[in-house]
Structure 1
Amino acid sequence: MQLKPQDFLVALKLVAWGEQRWTYARLAQELGISVSEAHACIKRGLQAGLLVDTALLIPPPEVAPGVQEGGAVYRVQARPRRARADSSDSTGSADNPAKVHGRNLAEFAVHGAKYAFPADRLPVSVGVPTSHSAPAFTSVFAPGSDDWVWPHPNGSVRGQGLEPLHPSVPFAAMQDTKLYEMLALFDALRVGRARERGMALKRLPLLIYPDGPKPAERPMYG
């Protein structure tokens, strides 16, 4: 099994949704992919450990008020059922079949994804701004001649072209501001200068895994 760029995109979309209920049909629609591809992405994400099958998570038994109970919030079944991502339901009716494994996804995002999905520069063009040029970072980095864009006919900024993680990324990002921010931060890790990478190393894991350890401050040069 080899992860594909759309698998990472799907995982980030689940982060953006948080605790919202979702279906494969909704996932496919908002990311501009097919329902069958959404199923395949969830299946690979589960196999890679970036996602957790919600069918394998059992809430702990209710405890009487005033009684403390130790242990994790969820228990894994001793004999887990087959992952629901294998379902043959092509209509996308399965509800909330997986959730993000925050720690694993945050680690992959900052330490592995830029090597698994390297950046490809494209000619200067008009497109959707990304990396430090994205709208989420206008208060941090002023627009300039070093803007990065995903080439797109509906774009508003001219800059250095960057191949998006997946062809549907510009469309998906324009539908969801939190997803857009995470995708732009990921691009900052791939093509940014020291200051921009430093920002992404600090901000991206906190968006994915807010309960995780806070990234150490690093000196930034360049």
Structure 2
Amino acid sequence: MQLKPQDFLVALKLVAWGDQRWTYARLAQELGLSASEAHACVKRGLQAGLLAQNYQALDSAQAALAVQEPTAIYRVARQKRSRVAATSSQVAQGQLATADNPVRPHSKQLAEFALHGARYAFAADKTPSTIGVPTSHSAPAFAGVFAPGSEDYVWPHPNGTVRGVGVEPLHPSVPFAAMQDARLYEMLALFDAIRVGRARERGMALERLQALIDPAAPKKVKGPMYG
């Protein structure tokens, strides 16, 4: 099994969606992929450890139902109807959104790959100055973060609005996918900052991208520590 750039793109899209319910058809549509390719990406993501099977929410619902139903025979007869009612109620309240999703991002391992492996697995190719969609530190999410005069980077695209050094995107569908989802756009631009940015830009991108993918990760302590 060889991990492909679109597999990483799919994993980042699932991070961007968070606990939203999704379908393979929607995943494919918003990323500019075919449905069969979306399925293949998820399969490879599972094999690589970037994604994980999503059992936790359903297991919790089943455990709660088992406690509520006192008699085994009665439970068998009523379990299916009760489970549907409980699941529908929880989904309506946004408490069980992920139960309908087959997989979820493996936050820790995906963050580790994004920060320390992906830039080597999917190295960036630069092109001459061109018109395109801003990426890296030039993306809209980072307006005002870096000093004026920094060289702009763009994904070459005929409908782009900015001229800058061209950076071949992670996957050809990236400019389209980024325009559909601001959170995904931010993560893809951060990834490009890691791939092509200067030291300061890479440092900021590493910190921000980890916070987006794995919010539970320990934060680095800045400055000296004293006993």
Class of the TM-score when normalised by the shorter of the 2 chains: 0.7 to 0.9
Aligned pairs for 1:62-211 within 5 A? 62=64, 96-142=101-147, 144=149, 146-211=151-216
1:59, distance to aligned residue in structure 2 (A): 2.8
CA 1:204–1:152 in structure 2 vs 1: closer, same or farther (change >3 Å)?
same
1:141, distance to aligned residue in structure 2 (A): 1.8
Contact in 2 for aligned 1:12/1:182 (Cα 8 Å): yes
Secondary structure of the 1:59 match is helix
Report the more deviating stretch, 50-59 or 4-13: 50-59
Match of 1:3?
3
1:153, distance to aligned residue in structure 2 (A): 1.1
What residue identity is the alignment partner of 1:118?
A
**Deviation readout 1:75-128 (Å, 9 max, x if unpaired):** xxxxxxxxxxxxxxxxxxxx5221000000011100100010001011210000
Contact in 2 for aligned 1:126/1:155 (Cα 8 Å): yes
Match of 2:18?
18
Percent identical across equivalent pairs? 73
What residue identity is the alignment partner of 2:206?
L
Match of 2:32?
32
Instruction: State how far apart, in whole Å, the 1-side matches of 2:159 and 2:40 are.
Output: 29
Instruction: State how far apart, in whole Å, the 2-side matches of 1:171 and 1:144 are.
Output: 27
**Deviation readout 1:175-199 (Å, 9 max, x if unpaired):** 1000000000000000000110010
TM score, norm. by length of structure 1 = 0.80
Q: Runs of 5+ in structure 1 lacking a partner?
A: 65-94
Secondary structure of the 2:64 match is coil
Instruction: State how far apart, in whole Å, the 2-side matches of 1:143 and 1:166 are.
Output: 29
Q: Runs of 5+ in structure 2 lacking a partner?
A: 68-99
What residue identity is the alignment partner of 1:129?
P
Q: Please give the root-mean-square deviation of Cα atoms over the aligned residues, in Å.
A: 1.8
Instruction: State how far apart, in whole Å, the 2-side matches of 1:124 and 1:207 are.
Output: 30
Instruction: State how far apart, in whole Å, the 2-side matches of 1:211 and 1:97 are.
Output: 22
What residue identity is the alignment partner of 2:152?
D
More helix by share: 2
The alignment of Structure 1 onto Structure 2 pairs a total of residues equal to: 188
Secondary structure of the 1:26 match is helix
Instruction: State how far apart, in whole Å, the 1-side matches of 2:141 and 2:221 are.
Output: 22
CA 1:52–1:157 in structure 2 vs 1: closer, same or farther (change >3 Å)?
same
What residue identity is the alignment partner of 2:149?
G
Match of 2:54?
54
Instruction: State how far apart, in whole Å, the 1-side matches of 2:216 and 2:56 are.
Output: 22
Report the more deviating stretch, 111-120 or 143-152: 143-152
Match of 1:42?
42
